[in-house]
Structures are given as C-alpha cells and as structure tokens.
Amino acid sequence: MSIPSVPGTSPYAGPQGLWTADPEELAARLFVTVFAGQGAVPLPQRDISDVYAILASLGGYSLPDVRSGNTQPLGLTVQLAQECILLWERATVATRLSAGSGPVAQTITMLRFGPGVLGASDPVAALKARLK
C-alpha cells in the first residue's frame, strides 16, 4: 500500500480515526509525512512539536498554539505520536534526541535505515520488515 498525499484531505477521521488506526500503518504514514523531502539531508531532524502537529493534520484537525495541560485532543495526539516514535526507534529508522541545558530541545532524528523506509514504494511494508 503506497501512502498517497492528497492536498486538503486527511487519511484518518479525526482523533478517533487516529486512535483506532493500525499502529504500524500510522507510524509509517507519520514517518513519511514527517521526513518528506529529507532523505538526502545529512542530519534529518524535526522538532517534536512538529511531529504532534503533523499527526493531528493526518487526523484532519489542528492543535492549539498554546499546548498545556491534559486536554483533548492534545493528550491523545501526544500518546499516539510517542507510540509511533517508539516504533521508529524499534525499527531503527529514527530516534528522540534531547539537547540543551535549562529548556531542553526535543527533536526526532532520522537514522541510517530511515531513507530506505522513506523512499520505499510501500513504506508500511518497509517499516514492518524493519520491525521483524
């Protein structure tokens, strides 16, 4: 299954659609969307807040600019994004990176096997193969 990118449409129906999605499919779709166009960048990275916003956009909704507290759909979005990131780490395609003193910057960095999943004709199958 290729992952189509159609402007103006979301592949999942809101937060509930994300919640009930196949975790590996969701992780692959999010990975491809987060790192689109970065396969040849020397150190592809995205800020963790970008990952949350991109996941929300896959569900067809947006997160508030001020993100605090345990509110919905923010809480659900953070949970699902972290689950996807854990799958990325298990597949060794991306990992979390923290840097700084005081306020710590949280980023997601693509690892060396990431471009293979990113450029695969079937990213879901490629990610699943990396998870075996």
Report DSSP state, residue 104: P
Is the pLDDT score of 117 beyond 90?
yes
All domains in the chain, ordered by first residue: 14-62+71-130 (1.10.10)
CB atoms within 10 A of CB 41: 11
pTM comes to: 0.86
Amino acid, single-letter form, for residue 42 = P
The helix-helix angle for 123-131 and 23-34 (nearest 10°) equals: 120
Residue 74 burial by Cβ neighbours in a 10 Å radius (0-12, 13-18, 19+): middle
Output the pLDDT for position 106: 92
Distance (Å, whole) CA 31 – CA 9: 18
Q: What pLDDT does 66 receive? A: 66
The model's confidence at residue 119, banded by pLDDT at 50, 70 and 90, is very high
Phi and psi at residue 21, in whole multiples of 5°? -70, 155
